[in-house]
A and B are shown apart, each in its own frame.
Chain A
Amino acid sequence: EIVLTQSPGTLSLSPGERATLSCRASQTVSNKYLAWYQQKPGQAPRLLIYGASSRATGIPDRFSGSGSGTDFTLTISRLEPEDLAVYYCQQYGTLLYSFGRGTTLEIK
């Protein structure tokens, strides 16, 4: 079973800054099977990125994904107050899905 480790646990940045969130896998993950989600307080998760770097429908281009193998990154450029949320990475492999524990993004 692949374990995803996200860092940092909490990130505190100001509007307009750039956020870099990391997701490291315990084994190689196919780029095809790595996704990122945003969960705002009291809401269901929302798909941001799939296939490691493809933006989901309606996601602004401030959000971008990159990486391969065991190291993946979600970058949010030009932070806005509405980006306050917990961000999760997720992988699929050998018929199983798993999530990282999340990174909390605080906006100063």
Chain B
Amino acid sequence: QVQMQESGPGLVQPSETLSLTCTVSGGFTPNYHWGWLRQSPGKGLEWIAVMFNTGSTSYNPSLKSRVSISVDTAKKQFFLKMYSVTSADTAVYYCAGDPPDGYGHYDSWGQGTLVTVSS
């Protein structure tokens, strides 16, 4: 497991771009697969995107046209951008790590950051 912390603005204007950073500590391993997930108020978990350790990416089909994930290994950080946000994107956003054991699960999570989309 690794330690992870999300950061970014808590308030985003409608139609603007949401930008979040996840900082990894306790041993950033490039072999992990890095992911973003979210949870709307009172709702369940929604997977957003993953950066595999090969450098390839995959996105939730319902969000694919509006999101982008990237990584800066040297800084031990990875990033989420979500474009043209609406109030429906108000949620707690989590970054998470999927270990390279081939089981497709998240064993490390950030504490989450609340992002509110409002004017």
Contacts and interface: CB of A to CB of B under 8 A. Distances in A.
A97 B35 contact: yes
A46 B109 CA distance: 8
Given A95-B58, A100-B44, A102-B44, A57 B1 contact: yes
Interface string A79-98: 00000001010111101111
Interface of B: 1, 35, 44-47, 50, 58, 60-61, 94, 102-107, 109-112
The size bracket of the interface on A is 20 to 34
Given A44-B112, A96-B58, A32 B103 contact: yes
Contacts of A35: 103-106
Interface of A: 1, 32-33, 35, 37, 39, 43-47, 50-51, 54, 56-57, 86, 88, 90-93, 95-102
Contacts of A44: 94, 109-112
Given A35-B105, A97-B50, 7 more contacts: A37-B45, A46-B109, A47-B107, A51-B103, A92-B104, A97-B47, A101-B44
